[in-house]
Amino acid sequence: DAGVIQSPRHEVTEMGQEVTLRCKPISGHDYLFWYRQTMMRGLELLIYFNNNVPIDDSGMPEDRFSAKMPNASFSTLKIQPSEPRDSAVYFCASSSQDRGGGNTIYFGEGSWLTVV
Amino acid sequence: GENVEQHPSTLSVQEGDSAVIKCTYSDSASNYFPWYKQELGKGPQLIIDIRSNVGEKKDQRIAVTLNKTAKHFSLHITETQPEDSAVYFCAASIRSNSGYALNFGKGTSLLVTP
């Protein structure tokens, strides 16, 4: 199994530029999550999808952030325009259908974003 | 929503000693409690999990205990080794009508010194 695949692994961009982070979940998984990790706030849930449908986007910090999942094998997280405070590690994760008890969430290696 | 508190934020132990990390959660509906280990430059990886119908679970040197009444759960690592040094996160499930996700604690940076 290839695991959750994220790209790019590292990105440095200038303030005001658009940033697009990409994710390929584990094949067969129904859930896809986007988390952001910073020293101050830890791991924050931004948004998650079930069967390609956004379920909860209450963690998305503001309108500059958007996420899409056009099909079961691809998702994007977009920041437009980017700001220095968006600098963080962005993790994509996926999981199979919850059977009532919760299932393991598998994380990608993360996209390290620096906005200067 | 679910609030997960984790303590301590840093922990230093000598090789061979035990390490204990504690978490509390706020939502009594949470029923799944995983623990993740994150090494430098990598994504978090599941090391053990426990469900609400179980009070304790063990896997070799790692054990987790759950007290649903008090809403707290703990990770125990025995006979620690230098390779156990990492950041450990606890999490609790959060559910909506349409699905579930995990809320994480702030993490514990564990250092095992030889």
Please write the tens of the pLDDT for every residue from B32-65. Answer: 999 999 999 999 999 999 988 778 999 999 999 9
Cα–Cα dist B85/B74, whole Å:
17
- Burial string for B54-73 (b: 16+ CB within 10 Å, else e) reads eeeeeeeebbbbbebeeebb
B107 touches chain A (CB under 8 A): yes
Q: Do A106 and B105 touch (CB under 8 A)?
A: no
Model pLDDT, residue B1:
62
Which residues lie closer than 8 Å to A55 by C-beta, 6 or more apart? A48, A49, B96, B98, B99, B101
The minimal CB distance from B99 to the residues A42, A93, A98 is found for A98
Q: Does B58 touch chain A (CB under 8 A)?
A: no
> Does A101 score more than 80 pLDDT?
no
Question: Which amino acid makes up residue B41?
Answer: G
In whole angstroms, give the CA distance from residue A69 to residue A75: 4
DSSP strand pairing (B19-25 vs B4-7): antiparallel
Between CA A113 and CA A105 the distance in angstroms is 22
Q: What is the mean pLDDT of residues A6-25?
A: 97
Say what the pLDDT of residue A102 is: 67
Q: DSSP assignment, residue A84?
A: G
Give how far the C-alpha of residue B68 lies from the chain's centroid of Cα atoms, to the nearest Å. 15
Q: What angle do CA B10, A87, B95 make, to 5 degrees?
A: 70
A57 touching B (Cβ < 8 Å): no
| Run of H or E including B90 | strand B86-96
Identify which of B98, B104, B105 has the shortest CB distance to residue A55.
Answer: B98
pLDDT tens for each residue of chain B, 114 residues long? 668 999 999 999 999 999 999 999 998 888 899 999 999 999 999 999 998 877 899 999 999 999 999 999 999 999 999 999 999 999 998 877 667 788 999 999 999 999
The answer to whether residue B25 neighbours chain A at the CB level (below 8 Å) is no
> Average per-residue pLDDT in chain A?
93
Option in A50, A102, A110 nearest B43 (CB): A110
Q: Which residue has the higher pLDDT, A99 or A58?
A: A58
Average pLDDT over residues A26-38: 94
**Is residue A84 reached through a cis peptide bond, with omega within 30 degrees of 0 on the bond before it?**
no
Q: Does residue A9 carry a pLDDT above 90?
A: yes
For B84, list phi and psi in degrees, rounded to 5.
-80, -10
Within 8 A of B101 by CB-CB distance, chain A residues are: 31, 33, 45, 48, 55-56
> Token digits for B103?
């809320």
Residue A90: predicted pLDDT = 98
Positive or negative CA dihedral for B68, B73, B77, B83? positive
Interface check B109 vs A, CB under 8 A = no
Q: What is the pLDDT of residue A99?
A: 60
The pLDDT confidence band at residue A1, using thresholds 50, 70 and 90, is low
Closest by Cα among A31, A29, A93, A90 to A65: A90
Write down the pLDDT at residue A98.
Answer: 63
Per DSSP, what are the bridge partners of residue A32?
A49, A94
Q: Tell me the nearest-neighbour CA distance from A112 into chain B, angstroms.
A: 9
Best residue of A4, A29, A38, A43 to probe chain B, by most B CBs closer than 10 Å: A43
Residue A100 has pLDDT above 60, yes or no: no
A19: its two tokens: 């940033």
Burial class, B97, CB count within 10 angstroms (exposed 0-12 / middle 13-18 / buried 19+)? exposed
